[in-house]
Amino acid sequence: LAKVNVITLKHMHKKGEPITVMTAHDFPSGHVADAAGMDVVLVGDSLAMVAMGMEDTNEILVEEMLLHCRSVSRAVKSAFTIGDLPMGSYEISPSQALGTAIRFIKEGRMQGVKIEGGREMVPTIKALVTAGIPVLGHVGLTPQRQHALGGFRVQGKSSSSAMRILADALAVQRAGCFAVVIEAVPPQVATIITDMLSIPTIGIGAGNGCSGQVLVQSDMIGNFPPGRSLPKFVKKYGNVWSESFKAIEAFRYDVKNRKYPGVEHTYPIAQNELDKLPT
């Protein structure tokens, strides 16, 4: 498969071909997403929760994101790679954001970055785009601002709130984003925004009218312990946690009962050499 880039994505959008985006947080999760033909692999800051066990995404540091980005970059050969700028690493000024974004390109080996926010991020997005860094926008529910939003809540449920999200999406498009994530808004609102934009929209909890879709890999493959509640928009396509659990439990049984390793898992020694050893 040829390497996906911003031009490839533009062509897909023009043809009406949905764009597939999947998160990854390490070498294996990047490798499988790339092998399964994802157009874009996103190293989302959601890895703070799904890979590092943090309460929310606000705790994760730039250095930690960069470590994960580097791991993913070694696995992804075809997909376009995007790294999520973490909370606190881009809000102070466009030059702060540019400094962080450059680290994501050079140290994280990403091809572009994602930034949460709307109209207020226009000068920042422009600074990055001017420097030649592709920027993916992110409007609607912006998890890094959950405390200001009053939690993980659906956005755009009133016409005035929906109009603000539309204004945000148009603003980040004007600033130069190559695409924009729309998170947790009613499908009708996301469809209206998609129709009014010339760049692709990538939906998550935003219905089937977007130009593409993204999910958090650990959620959609079912790689989390039982009892954890998922957002309504997640479709669980697999049962990886229970597969891992079964395998590790079987190993435990085998070891406790001396059923593993079998001879087929061992290295041979010649009989004449064995005969020289003490018995």
CB closer to ligand KIV, 46 vs 124: 46
Out of 127, 214, 220, 221, point to the residue binding ligand KIV (CB under 6 A): 214
Residue 157 CB, nearest approach to Na ion (Å) = 21
Report yes or no: 114 and 65 within 8 Å, Cβ to Cβ.
Answer: no
CA atoms of 42 and 38, how far apart (whole Å): 10
User: Residue 182 or 189: which CB sits closer to ligand KIV?
Assistant: 182
Task: Reduce the DSSP state of residue 113 to 3 states and report it.
Answer: strand
Site string for ligand KIV, 173-192 (x = CB under 6 A): --------x-----------
Q: How far is the CB of 84 from Na ion (least distance, A)?
A: 4
| 120 tagged catalytic | no
44 is a site residue for ligand KIV (CB under 6 A): yes
**Residue 14 CB burial class (10 angstroms; 0-12, 13-18, ≥19):** exposed
Applying CB under 5 A, which of residues 21, 22, 30, 44 lies at the interface with Na ion?
A: 44
Piece of the chain touching ligand KIV by CB under 6 A; list 9-17, 43-51, 188-196, 221-229: 43-51
Mark 45-70 as b/e (b = at least 16 C-beta within 10 Å): bbbbbbbeeeebbbebebebbbebbb
Residues 97, 1: Cα–Cα separation, whole Å: 32
Residue closer to ligand KIV by CB (options 45, 168) is: 45
| Alpha-carbon gap, residue 178 to 192, rounded angstroms | 18
Both tokens of 155, joined, read 């956005």
34 binds ligand KIV (CB under 6 A): no
Which residue lies nearer to ligand KIV by CB, 140 or 176? 140
Contact residue for ligand KIV among 45, 82, 176, 197 (CB under 6 A): 45
Please work out, in degrees rounded to the nearest 5, the angle formed at the alpha carbon of residue 131 by the alpha carbons of 183 and 203.
15
Residues labelled catalytic? 183
